[in-house]
A and B are shown apart, each in its own frame.
Chain A
């Protein structure tokens, strides 16, 4: 192999006076060099196979299901009870109307509105809360106390959503809950649904979310603070002009990550909350729960449900790509 290369290089060197050692065309060189790498790593390359098989089977094979979105399912032609998947694929007309039907579906608009609202509230409330707690913890004189507090406020993150909502439903229960006796049954009130959803997210996730910021603050050089103190800066000034700018890259990255996940408002949380008061359906529905309802609970128009799922996935993909473009441009690193 090596000899062959050298002789080729010698030929080219003879033909062209420049001492350039790029003998082959790019394409042949690419496959040739890849083949050399394959041979070099042939002992470990098969390590990829198990992960690739699982990814192929449970991520890529479902992507083929996108074609269901192009079948006509409006009049029950697409019926899983009538036959298997192959039967359904070969029967019934092809159409693009499922995607168009998304835009005339009122529930879809309600779901998108609720999803965006809940996520905007979260962005405005939960996200800054994590940063504020992290800054406050780092301002404590005794950092061991800060760690104890952090350990305590992280506990809810390790409870499942069923338990978190079970606890609060118990507390806010109007007849037996200790808070519910004062507030009434606010979990069954329209106006309280979104604030409570955001509050539960904060209660569960704020402590865990602030670990990242807390360790970012802890890694700031302490001598900056000493010199700031000597210059006569007070606590607020140190927080504003020293701590926050130092963790700004972390904040920006998490902000972009949050915005990229804007279309997912937490299926488990919202769906569990919806079970407590089922009569407020329209003010509670988010994209994920709507998708779940039309795909699993009442499968009367499977092509439309597929189309909505694909559409949702496409928007999520778009947001992720935009987020990645932003972080690569401004922070010189991708989202993944």
Chain B
């Protein structure tokens, strides 16, 4: 308060100075603003400190562990948050050396699985949601019930395991793909979104002679890109990172090894190193090799991070859960 009085007084006396010409001090507080109490300012500082602590809590393990990927294995104990003896040997081993065959095979499996599931699941669910989004869809509640029941009840893993084994899909990537195609949550998201599209647009397109398929793929899908993008994004991240179904359907046989997705490969790598025990370099660098394989496996997801940033900043809202 004192400070504002001091600055206000010369202004009143030295009225001959036109206020427009005076340089505004950027550090001066706005005198009209209600001053924050000491408690509030302490809280604000505490707030930032705690948040930064959370940031450190997230960043430190990541930096510490992934520094190992770039580090010489004999100096792992010295690593804090950056590699002390930088080397790319571990990456070389994983991506181009002895470990490359298994890594790239798992990588390829994951790419194929993720692509097919993302395109297949979202296309199938969007198509199903379109007729269901119409107000006068016949047997609407019955069909919705048909889909929603599968979201609520599952008969456990034995029946699905037996089904896959009867279809001869055990130890193939198709078991993982087929089990992930049906996604009722996304069906509900699509349905909610399509319900918001004005029916005038469809009628206009119909008048212009568009068939139902043209209408759906040329008009409805391009209009639904935001929701389609969100759903595809969630499918990609979920499929890339999940290995629960791989644990179910894929075993350690040769056929199973050929069908491992990448996340499952990382999981297996963690618990038992099937690496060559006779290689002394590998024995010293096993942690570094693991870190390098993990880092290489998350790069495709990190490439999608700009989308996450958009999601956070724009608050893209999907489905009926609204803020």
A residues near B, CB below 8 A? Answer: 34-35, 37-38, 40-41, 43-45, 47-48, 50-52, 54-55, 57-66, 68, 80, 84-85, 133, 136-137, 139-141, 147, 149-156, 158-163, 165-171, 176, 178, 203, 207, 211-213, 215-219, 229-230, 234-236, 247, 250, 253, 267-268, 271-272, 275-276, 291-292, 295-296, 302, 305-306, 308-310, 312-314, 316-317, 320-321, 333, 336
9 closest cross-chain pairs (CB), A and B: A309-B156, A65-B159, A51-B128, A43-B212, A216-B323, A160-B241, A62-B159, A37-B138, A59-B150
One of B58-66, B89-97, B275-283 at the interface = B58-66
Give complex CA distance A250, B221 in Å: 30
Choose among A203, A308, A313, A336 the residue that contacts B188 (Cβ–Cβ < 8 A): A336
The residue among B127, B143, B156, B317 with the most chain A CB atoms within 10 A of its own CB is B156
Chain B 22-61 interface mask (CB, 8 Å, partner A; 1/0): 0000000000001001011001100110110011011101
Q: Chain B nearest CB: distance from A229 CB in Å? A: 6
Give complex CA distance A147, B294 in Å: 27
Give complex CA distance A64, B166 in Å: 14
B211 touches A320 (CB 8 A): no
Across the two chains, which residue of chain A brings its CB closest to B237? Answer: A158
Across the two chains, which residue of chain B brings its CB closest to A135? Answer: B47
Please give, as numbers and ranges, the residues of chain A lying within 8 Å of B113 by CB-CB distance: none
A166 touches B266 (CB 8 A): yes
Please give, as numbers and ranges, the residues of chain B lying within 8 Å of A230 by CB-CB distance: 34
Give complex CA distance A147, B51 in Å: 12
Give complex CA distance A247, B322 in Å: 11
A62 touches B182 (CB 8 A): no
One of B8-16, B222-230, B305-313 at the interface = B305-313
B156 touches A58 (CB 8 A): no
B158 touches A163 (CB 8 A): no
B139 touches A54 (CB 8 A): no
Give complex CA distance A58, B302 in Å: 32
Give complex CA distance A233, B62 in Å: 40
Give complex CA distance A313, B149 in Å: 12
A44 with B130, Cβ < 8 A, contacts A136-B47, A306-B159 known? yes
Q: Chain B nearest CB: distance from A209 CB in Å? A: 12
Q: Chain B nearest CB: distance from A234 CB in Å? A: 5
Please give, as numbers and ranges, the residues of chain B lying within 8 Å of A168 by CB-CB distance: 61
A151 touches B308 (CB 8 A): yes
Q: Chain A nearest CB: distance from B182 CB in Å? A: 5
Choose among B77, B287, B305, B315 the residue that contacts A158 (Cβ–Cβ < 8 A): B305
Give complex CA distance A38, B138 in Å: 6
Across the two chains, which residue of chain B brings its CB closest to A60? Answer: B150
B58 touches A152 (CB 8 A): yes
Please give, as numbers and ranges, the residues of chain B lying within 8 Å of A51 by CB-CB distance: 124-125, 127-128, 147, 182, 187
Q: Is the interface of A mostly helix, strand, loop or mixed?
A: helix
Chain B 149-186 interface mask (CB, 8 Å, partner A; 1/0): 01111111111111100100000000000110110110
B312 touches A317 (CB 8 A): no
Please give, as numbers and ranges, the residues of chain B lying within 8 Å of A57 by CB-CB distance: 178
Give complex CA distance A305, B77 in Å: 46
Decide yes or no whether B88 CB sits under 8 A from chain A: no
Choose among A64, A154, A178, A218 the residue that contacts B159 (Cβ–Cβ < 8 A): A64
Please give, as numbers and ranges, the residues of chain B lying within 8 Å of A235 by CB-CB distance: 39-40, 43-44
B287 touches A84 (CB 8 A): no
Please give, as numbers and ranges, the residues of chain A lying within 8 Å of B158 by CB-CB distance: 65, 68, 295, 302, 305-306, 309
A47 touches B266 (CB 8 A): no
* 15 A-B contacts (beta carbon < 8 Å): A45-B137, A65-B156, A65-B160, A65-B162, A68-B159, A150-B312, A152-B58, A154-B312, A163-B263, A167-B61, A167-B294, A170-B65, A229-B34, A234-B37, A305-B156
Choose among A37, A45, A85, A217 the residue that contacts B166 (Cβ–Cβ < 8 A): A85
A136 touches B51 (CB 8 A): yes
Q: Chain A nearest CB: distance from B185 CB in Å? A: 8
B131 touches A44 (CB 8 A): yes
Q: Chain B nearest CB: distance from A56 CB in Å? A: 9
A215 touches B161 (CB 8 A): no
A62 touches B163 (CB 8 A): yes
Please give, as numbers and ranges, the residues of chain A lying within 8 Å of B51 by CB-CB distance: 133, 136-137, 140, 149
Chain B 233-245 interface mask (CB, 8 Å, partner A; 1/0): 0000100111110
Give complex CA distance A230, B32 in Å: 12
20 extra interchain contacts, Cβ-Cβ under 8 A, other than A140-B47, A147-B312? A45-B137, A47-B127, A48-B127, A48-B128, A55-B146, A55-B150, A57-B178, A61-B159, A61-B163, A63-B159, A133-B54, A136-B51, A155-B58, A155-B305, A160-B241, A162-B263, A166-B270, A218-B315, A234-B37, A275-B271
Give complex CA distance A175, B58 in Å: 22
A291 with B157, Cβ < 8 A, contacts A51-B182, A84-B166, A211-B312 known? yes
B68 touches A47 (CB 8 A): no
Please give, as numbers and ranges, the residues of chain B lying within 8 Å of A37 by CB-CB distance: 136-138
Q: Chain A nearest CB: distance from B43 CB in Å? A: 5
Please give, as numbers and ranges, the residues of chain B lying within 8 Å of A312 by CB-CB distance: 156
Decide yes or no whether B104 CB sits under 8 A from chain A: no
Give complex CA distance A153, B309 in Å: 12
